[in-house]
Amino acid sequence: MAYLVVQCANGKEKTCYFKIEKELDSLLSEIERLHPDIPTHSAQAEQRLAAAAREEVAKYKSKLSKTAEETWERLNGAVEHLELRPDIYRNLTAAAKQKRIVDNLSPSVLVGGTAVFLAGLCAVAYGLYGLSAHTPNAVYFLLGGGAAAFAVFSANLVPGRWGSKANAQKDWESAVRESAEYISGFRYFPVPAQYAHPVVLKWMIRAVRESRAETAQEALETVKTDLRNMNSSVSVTQEIHDDVVDIKPLFLVCDYAD
């Protein structure tokens, strides 16, 4: 379970647990945005991040062509534009992830999940009846059945809105449409609406600064190649892993097409 250790002004520490890691990431992002004076990493983590940043900068070329410089400037502007509305690109990522999950669910999994869910509800009902009738071990049926039903329901393994391919497709199209409407206010946005995420643009900036691309289209194709090469057998840093988790679903649901 993800957790955050908060250090108070008096030196005391409090550990806060999060069931969903992305909620913790969102909280830290908001703290960094609203209160840049408050550190969001431990001293050791700051040192590791600084070392990683130095290694990254060492890969950058000292001189870029005029085209690359213009692309870099344009991408930076696009990042700033997206970060004004984080809800839009976060919704885009969430919709892409949900669509990927639903698209890869086989009917047999949904049938099995439904069976477990119904069995769990039956166990809960028996447990409640058993408690009123003072039946031995009734509490175990109540707790076990409730846990099973909640587990399959929270994993979206029960037919319903979140397990529906039609609804997942509708949500994805709505997220892309919202993204397209927002970036239409930016002249010549460098990527299609379905890839309008700050991390995508930052990876494109990295490709330009490493002289692996000059134009925005070349940088986007470089990012696609990098993501295609990222799989479970590739060892990466935690930061890169988090980036891939955020943006790879955007490309997978579109089969890397523009």
Which amino acid would we find at residue 122? C
Residue range 119-131: mean pLDDT, rounded? 87
Q: Determine the pLDDT at residue 243.
A: 87
Range with top average pLDDT, 5-14, 65-74, 155-164:
65-74
Structural domains counted in the chain = 2
**When comparing pLDDT for 186 and 43, which is higher?**
186
pLDDT band at 156 (very low <50, low <70, confident <90, very high): low
Q: How far apart are CA 74 and CA 65, in angstroms?
A: 14
Length of the chain: 258
**160 pLDDT exceeds 70?**
no
Is residue 228 included in any domain, yes or no? yes
Final residue of a domain: which of 90, 125, 154? 154
Q: Determine the pLDDT at residue 30.
A: 84
Indicate if 172 and 229 belong to the same structural domain.
yes
Is residue 183 included in any domain, yes or no? yes
Residue range 237-241: mean pLDDT, rounded? 79
Residue range 210-225: mean pLDDT, rounded? 94
Token representation of residue 225: 């190649």
**For the segment 42-88, what is each residue's pLDDT rounded down to a tens digit?**
777 777 767 766 777 777 777 889 999 999 999 999 999 999 999 99
Q: Determine the pLDDT at residue 203.
A: 95
Q: Determine the pLDDT at residue 37.
A: 86
pLDDT, the chain, mean = 86
**Range with lowest mean pLDDT among 20-24, 94-98, 177-181:** 20-24
Is residue 127 included in any domain, yes or no? yes
- Domain range for 196 is 41-103+164-252
Indicate if 96 and 177 belong to the same structural domain.
yes
Is residue 1 included in any domain, yes or no? no
Q: How far apart are CA 221 and CA 237, in angstroms?
A: 22
Final residue of a domain: which of 154, 175, 191? 154
**16 pLDDT exceeds 70?**
yes
Percent of the chain with pLDDT over 90: 37
Is residue 82 included in any domain, yes or no? yes
Cβ(22)–Cβ(32) under 8 Å? no
Q: Determine the pLDDT at residue 163.
A: 60
Produce one character per residue of 180-199: b if its CB has 16 or more CB atoms within 10 Å, e if not: eebbeeeeebbbbbbbbbbb
Handedness of CA 10, 18, 20, 175 (dihedral sign): negative
pLDDT band at 2 (very low <50, low <70, confident <90, very high): confident
Residue range 175-200: mean pLDDT, rounded? 94
Q: Determine the pLDDT at residue 159.
A: 64
**162 pLDDT exceeds 60?**
no
Indicate if 168 and 226 belong to the same structural domain.
yes
Note the Cα 158 to chain centre separation in Å.
23
Indicate if 94 and 112 belong to the same structural domain.
no
Q: How far apart are CA 193 and CA 201, in angstroms?
A: 12
**For the segment 136-148, what is each residue's pLDDT rounded down to a tens digit?**
888 888 888 888 8
**When comparing pLDDT for 83 and 23, which is higher?**
83
Final residue of a domain: which of 154, 174, 191? 154
